[in-house]
Amino acid sequence: MKLFGRIKNEDIVNQIYNKDKFQRSLTFLIGIFIVSITFNIFMIPNDIVYGVGGIGVIFKKLFNITPSIVILISSILLLILSFVTLGFDKTKNSIIGSLLFPIFVELTEFIIPYINLGNTEPLLLTIFGAALSGFGYGLIFKSGYTTGGTDILNQIVAKYFKKSIGTSMFFTDGLIIGISLFFFGMQKFMYSVVNIVIISIMTDKVILGVSQSKTFFIITDSETAVKKFIMEYLDRGVTVIEARGGYTGNYQKMIMCTIPTKEYFIFKEGIESIDPNAFFMVTDAYEVSGGRINRKDK
């Protein structure tokens, strides 16, 4: 459907979510199963706290209440809060995850007695459990779903306190982890911090993938020589961008080029050989299409 000759945003979003729906649903279920089973095996026995699941760990320790019940009640309350503060459109993609996560936690609880981790170091258990959880969360987010919980709180804090999602995550998850300090002590608190950091890193890696390419932004007085080296020797395309110095106000050319990571060394050394005073910045590029020069004489 078009509105005044333009495609409506709602139609674009619906088209995205209807694409590969079965595959995304399967990926989501695998992800939530991994997160749930990891929560039962690694997080509960070691008093590792993060997100709404962390509230379940605390309540189990204090009142011996089943964590899945605490997670379910907390998730329902947060969904209601989300409906009131964020609206239906922002809430609907969190409903399934918010309800299925505590159900999967309850269903996978039976496996705990069958897993014997022996005298494994708690730090090793924390790292391994966080890596598995991060992998599971990565699958969930990559499929277009969430598990609700503190994700809802993050959006609320971001909206009403005008903070970024990253800052909101630091506040909400940091508050829950901070509370654990009073119940589990400094060592478990530090394990929880390590846990949330690894989960965040692993989640990003699953969503974005491991960077196979690097993008260079280069400012040099030897523009022609650098472009020739890139295009003729490395057989890569370049884009020349008009740039302006913030201090001097002078206009200069900036060369942008994306290369495979394996060519990083020769690329960097080549630029420095051509112009030792060249300024360049390197960033990871997670998805690249095209860029190689096609010549008829090849």
Give which of 52, 43, 207, 212 is closest to 135, Cα–Cα.
207
If DSSP codes are grouped into helix, strand and coil, which group holds residue 244? strand
Cβ proximity of 254 and 243 under 8 Å: yes
Name the token pair of 191: 């394990």
Distance in angstroms (rounded) separating the CA atoms of residues 260 and 258? 7
| Better pLDDT: 16 or 260 | 260
Q: What is the pLDDT of residues 268-294, one digit of tens each?
A: 888 888 888 988 888 888 766 655 555
Cβ proximity of 255 and 216 under 8 Å: yes
- pLDDT at residue 230 in the model: 86
Average pLDDT for 211-233 = 86
- pLDDT at residue 11 in the model: 63
Decide the pairing of beta strands 2-3 and 239-244.
Answer: unpaired
Check whether 4 has a pLDDT greater than 50.
Answer: no
- pLDDT at residue 290 in the model: 57
Q: What is the pLDDT of residues 96-137, one digit of tens each?
A: 889 999 999 999 988 877 887 878 888 999 999 999 998 998
